Amino acid sequence: MVGQEIVSIEPATGAILWRQMPGDADTEIAIARASWAGWAAQPLACRLEVLRRFANVVRAKAEPFADLIARETGKPLWEARTEVDSVIAKVNISATAYAERSAQRKIESQGGRLAVRHKPHGVLAVLGPYNFPAHLPNGHIIPALLAGNAVVFKPSEKTPATGAFLVDCLREAGVPDGCIRLLIGGPAEGKALAGHPDIDGLLFTGSARTGIALNRAFADKPEKILALEMGGNNPILVWDAPDLASAAVLIVQSAFTSAGQRCTAARRLIVDERLHQPLMAELSKLLDRLIVGDPHADPQPFMGPVIDNEAADLLTESFVTLMSRGGRPVRHMQRPIDDRPFLTPGVIDVTEMNDRPDIELFGPILQVVRTASFEDAIVEANNTRYGLAASLVSQDPALYDQFWANARAGIVNWNKPTNGASSSAPFGGIGWSGNHRPSAYYAADYCAYPVVSSEADQARATIGIGLKDA
């Protein structure tokens, strides 16, 4: 942000990519409020057809869309392409989820029948993050529009160009302009949108700090829906795993994909102390080969920069702070270009550290904790206020059963990374990771509310007790 103008800068090059003055929340919400009823009155089949056209619009523009995401976020082009694929796939997934979770039903009951239908809330605000600036807000927007809501979408001030591109595609497909509004802005515009009396709900993906503030702000507004998808201090456990090379791959995928800028990224590696040294050797061999570079480089890098220099500075300071508090570096985090936010993966053993900070370090930092027993490993895994993702790498099914039963997280994986969640399943966590309104496949649940009707074809009623004789 330069002055009042919102300026998007490519993290990998420092070049200005996009700029625009902030919008006005009052104006955007008023337009959406005046428009949503007409959209809601359309048959579901009509709304679905428009959204299928949206998928086709994105498919036709997939390469420029991916290029924009790569430039604006710094993520490798291959990863940006997978994000565009997820945007396209969301339409069919949302249609299936709506049919399953929000379907109209008739229930025969004594003396008549019950009907269950769903209604849209009205005007929903969507606050999007910068790490997946198309896929994650789209995960709210598509089911919200399908249910008949209007949406006012404020993208992150760090990735506004991607948000604008997404909205343009929706409008080109035929979503009424009044039903998909784009609010460009920074924190002030976000607060104005979230706190506006004329929204019927807020769908948020972002940090725990912001999510908790929103939860407080909505505490006396039970009439408004609030869906929070926040971060995680996610553990990956390695125990009874003879294939340490595969374990190292799963660790790298969990901790360093997207430069560690995923809410499901592994922040903590908890390992059987007997496997510690050989596992660290395998991990180091793999990290030696990892390419960190420009998103359009050839060969493609595994990871690009973090989002900006401010984030890189904070992560570098955090690594130094962990060292100063007793952490032992396994692999130092480095900054190969002084004025650009490229960071190499940092690994630090914090086993001997007292009072380990329970925070989400949103970048390529992995903290290692050695334990002597599997029970201690589970205790350590749950030693967090967050509860988004957890993963076990082990060949023992009994250990996974024990892990699944005791891990406090909304996503519990076995011999898979902590990240890479499917849009065809619910996505959400507990504690500081969410407010029990999971997104992805279950987004249909917070985009419409059920209405139960007791119905009969004719009015026939009698009172059989408590009346005087006529």
Among 83, 157, 229, 360, which one carries the catalytic annotation? 229
Whether the Cβ atoms of residue 204 and residue 437 lie closer than 8 Å to each other: no
Residue 2 burial by Cβ neighbours in a 10 Å radius (0-12, 13-18, 19+): exposed
- Distances in Å between the Cα of 351 and the Cα atoms of 129, 250, 328, 422 are 32, 21, 9, 33
Q: How far is 192 from 254, CA to CA, in rounded Å?
A: 35
Candidate list 83, 263, 282, 380, residue with the active-site label: 263
Amino acid, res. 435: N
Per the annotation, the verdict on 263 as an active-site residue is yes
Cα atoms found within 13 Å of the Cα of residue 464, Cβ hemisphere only: 2
Q: Which of 157, 216, 142 is nearest to 189 (CA)?
A: 157
Residue 46 a catalytic site member: no
In DSSP terms, 367 is beta-bridged to 268, 348
62-74 in b/e form (b: 16+ CB < 10 A) is beebbbbbbbbbb
Burial class of residue 376, CB neighbours in 10 A (0-12, 13-18, 19+): middle
Catalytic residues: 229, 263
